[in-house]
């Protein structure tokens, strides 16, 4: 038993070190967003600052007013001085000045309103914050895209990697196992495809045939190489702050709802005792 345990942990460690691996047809695996950030006011404030400075140029968040940031412990003065652009009033919604027609011309698509993205990107089995957290950390240079950027989670995305200077330069190695059919014989052939994407987004592709008769399945494995690993780690923490803010923004009342829920349960518990006593009193003479 112990041996098996050691073997599996060794394997898990090996996969982690090598990067991420996923099967054909499946989307890129999501990294868990560190939820503790949701209760960290300093992180939420930093997230708000990042969001307003770097995302509101293209995206709106029109379900939220600037003065709601007071719920994150910011004073009206702090919001006015650090987060409001000259023409905005503290009671204004987080809208943007960019015209939809211009946006379409520049990016090919309209940058969507981000008020609810941390919720709308959730599925039955995966969480919305995990999606945004992974998305913001999987951009790579791609010379074949009009913006010069691509994304592992959101293939051929219209958004450039706006925070790239915070993350630093990274290159990507992809290793894919692929199936194809031999044109002459019509037989199944399996190959390994190595793709290297350098810091300019240029690809070098190498292929090698896998021995016939083996048992294979299609999969993709990626590995990032960062010039400055510490910078990438600091970037991850900044993105966690940003996602914490976006999660709060998608449901500013979440905390109140949970607190209220506790009181409702306490009430129901006490009420049950009374109801049970009353029930007993009613039936006492009948029985
Ligand atoms: C230069 C303009 C621009 C900036 C700045 C920008 N984005 Fe985007 N973003 C886009 C565009 C365009 C899309 C639509 C991409 C598509 O559909 O291909 C997008 C899509 C997204 C999506 C996917 C939404 C969805 O559900 O499909 C998320 C999440 C997102 N952006 C987050 C951010 C965050 C967070 C920031 C700030 C750090 C940011 N964006 C800054 C242009 C921008």
CA–CA dist 59, 68 (Å, integer) = 18
Q: Residue 84 in contact with residue 66, Cβ under 8 Å?
A: yes
pLDDT in 10s for each residue of the chain, 287 residues: 555 555 544 444 444 444 788 887 777 899 999 999 999 999 999 999 999 999 998 999 999 999 999 999 999 999 988 888 755 789 999 988 888 888 888 888 999 999 999 999 999 999 999 999 999 999 999 999 999 999 999 999 999 999 999 999 999 999 999 998 888 888 889 999 999 999 999 999 999 999 988 899 999 999 999 999 999 999 999 999 999 999 999 999 888 888 899 999 999 999 999 999 999 999 998 87
How far does the centroid of ligand 1 lie from the alpha carbon of residue 102, in Å? Answer: 15
**Got the DSSP string for 113-139?**
P-TTHHHHT--SSS-HHHHHHHHTT-E
How far does the centroid of ligand 1 lie from the alpha carbon of residue 210, in Å? Answer: 40
Q: Residue 222 in contact with residue 19, Cβ under 8 Å?
A: yes
Atom 38, ligand 1: residue with shortest CA distance: 55
Give this prediction's pTM: 0.86
How far does the centroid of ligand 1 lie from the alpha carbon of residue 144, in Å? Answer: 19
Per-residue tokens: 19: 């990067």
Nearest atom, ligand 1, residue 132 CA = 29
**Which of 47, 59, 131 has the most ligand 1 atoms within 8 A of CB, as the residue to mutate?**
59
Determine if ligand 1 sits within 6 Å of the CB of residue 137: no
How far does the centroid of ligand 1 lie from the alpha carbon of residue 59, in Å? Answer: 7
DSSP 8-state class, residue 28: P
């Amino acid at each position: 038993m112990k041996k098996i345990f050691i073997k599996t942990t060794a394997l898990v460690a090996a996969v982690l070190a090598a990067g991420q691996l996923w099967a054909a047809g499946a989307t890129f695996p999501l990294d868990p967003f560190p939820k503790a950030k949701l209760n960290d006011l300093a992180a939420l404030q930093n997230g708000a600052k990042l969001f307003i400075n770097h995302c509101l140029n293209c995206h709106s968040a029109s379900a939220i007013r600037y003065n709601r940031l007071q719920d994150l412990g910011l004073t009206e003065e702090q919001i006015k001085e650090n987060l409001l652009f000259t023409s905005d009033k503290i009671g204004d919604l987080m809208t943007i000045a960019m015209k939809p027609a211009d946006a379409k011309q520049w990016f090919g698509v309209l940058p969507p309103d981000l008020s609810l993205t941390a919720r709308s990107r959730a599925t039955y089995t995966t969480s919305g914050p995990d999606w945004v957290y992974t998305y913001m950390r999987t951009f790579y240079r791609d010379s074949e895209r009009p913006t010069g950027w691509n994304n592992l989670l959101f293939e051929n995305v219209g958004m450039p990697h706006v925070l790239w200077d915070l993350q630093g330069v990274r290159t990507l190695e992809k290793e894919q196992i692929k199936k194809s059919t031999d044109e002459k014989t019509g037989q199944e052939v399996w190959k390994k495809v190595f793709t290297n994407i350098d810091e300019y987004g240029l690809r070098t592709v190498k292929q090698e045939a896998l021995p016939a008769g083996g048992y294979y399945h299609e999969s993709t494995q990626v590995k990032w190489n960062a010039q400055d690993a510490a910078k990438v780690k600091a970037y991850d923490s900044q993105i966690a702050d940003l996602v914490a803010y976006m999660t709060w923004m998608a449901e500013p009342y979440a905390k109140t709802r949970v607190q209220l829920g506790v009181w409702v349960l306490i009430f129901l518990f006490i009420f049950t005792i009374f109801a049970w006593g009353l029930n007993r009193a009613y039936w006492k003479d009948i029985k």
